[in-house]
Amino acid sequence: MKSCILKNAKDDNLNFLIKHNIETLNKILDYNLKHRLLLFRISSGFILFASHSINEIPWATKYKKELLSVGDKIKKYRIRVSMHPGQYTTLSSPNEEIVKRAIEDLKYQTQVLDSMGLDSSNKVILHIGGRYDDKRETMDRFIVEYEKLPQNIKNRLVIENDDKIYTVEDVLYISKKTGIPLIFDYFHHVLNHAGEDLNWESALMKCRKTWGKKDGVQKVHYSQQAKDKRRGSHSLTISLPEFIEFYNSLPRPIDVMLEVKDKNISAIKCIYAVENKGTH
C-alpha cells in the first residue's frame, strides 16, 4: 500500500494512489490464496484521507467496478477481511470533536467493506479508548455514542479487550448493553485482567456467546510477548510450541488472526505446524 502526506493529497495524486492500493490489495489476496491465508486486515489507509475533508473524490462510485471486483474475489474464495481504525478513533472521548472524527472514520471503513459487497461477517474492529476521569462513565458514554451510529456501521462493528484499561469483563458489560460482538484478544487478556479470572478459555467462551449467525465465525486475536522488549510488545515471530498449545485448546469453528511483526511468515508457519500437528 502507498500513502502520502497531507500537502501532497491533490486529486491527481489521490486518484493514482487509490488505484494503486486497489491493485495492490488484489495482489495481496492472490498471494494469500496461494498460501491459504484466508484472514486479512485491510490497511486503514487503503483509501487515502477518505475521512478527511481534503479528499473530495467520490471514490465509492468512481471505483465501484474495481471495488466490487475485489469483493467478488473475497466472496468466491471465502476470504474474511476486516479493518481496524487506529487508537485515536474513539467513541468514548468526552471531546465532541474527537467523537465526530471517529464517526467519520467508521463511516469510511464501513463504506470500504460495503462497496465491496461483503456481508456483515467482515468486521470493523474498535478499541474502547482511554480511561478519562471515570472508567464506567466512559463505557456508558461509548454505549450512548454507539446507539447513534448508522445501522450499516453497527452491522460491522466489533470491540476487543485491550492490554491496559478495558478487560474482557468491561467489554462484556458494553456488549450486554448493545449486542456488539467481542473479539477475544488472548495476549491482552494475559496482560490485563484486573483481578478477573485469568483462565483464558473461560474468557474466550464468554466472548463466543456474543457472536450471532450474521456475524460469522467467532474471531480471536493471538500474539506473544517480544523478548527483551517492553511489556506488551508483539514478538518478531510466533513461537510454535506456545501457539500449538493455545490452538489445541480452542473451540471450533474459530478464526485466529495473528498480530506479529513478521506477519505472513508466521501465519504460513502456523498453518504448516497445525497441519503437521506441531511436529515441524
SS3 for 134? coil
Question: Distances from the Cα of 240 to the Cαs of 130, 185, 236, 246, 267, in angstroms?
Answer: 33, 18, 13, 10, 11
Q: Measure the CA–CA gap between 37 and 28, rounded to whole angstroms.
A: 10
Q: Measure the CA–CA gap between 41 and 205, rounded to whole angstroms.
A: 24
What's residue 277's pLDDT? Answer: 64
| Torsional sign, CA 2, 124, 201, 174 | positive
Residues of the chain under the 70 pLDDT cut: 277-280
Residues 6+ apart with CB under 8 A from 228: none
Residues 6+ apart with CB under 8 A from 58: none
What's residue 194's pLDDT? Answer: 81
What's residue 86's pLDDT? Answer: 86
What's residue 278's pLDDT? Answer: 55
SS3 for 110? helix
Q: Measure the CA–CA gap between 121 and 25, rounded to whole angstroms.
A: 19
Residue type, 215: D
The pair phi, psi for residue 197, each rounded to 5°, is -60, 125
pLDDT in tens, 146-201: 999 999 999 999 999 999 999 999 999 999 999 999 999 999 999 999 877 779 99
Q: Measure the CA–CA gap between 93 and 99, rounded to whole angstroms.
A: 6
Q: Measure the CA–CA gap between 92 and 95, rounded to whole angstroms.
A: 9
pLDDT in tens, 197-220: 779 999 999 999 999 999 999 999
The pair phi, psi for residue 116, each rounded to 5°, is -90, -5
Q: Which grid coordinates are listed for 250?
A: 480452542
Q: Measure the CA–CA gap between 81 and 102, rounded to whole angstroms.
A: 21
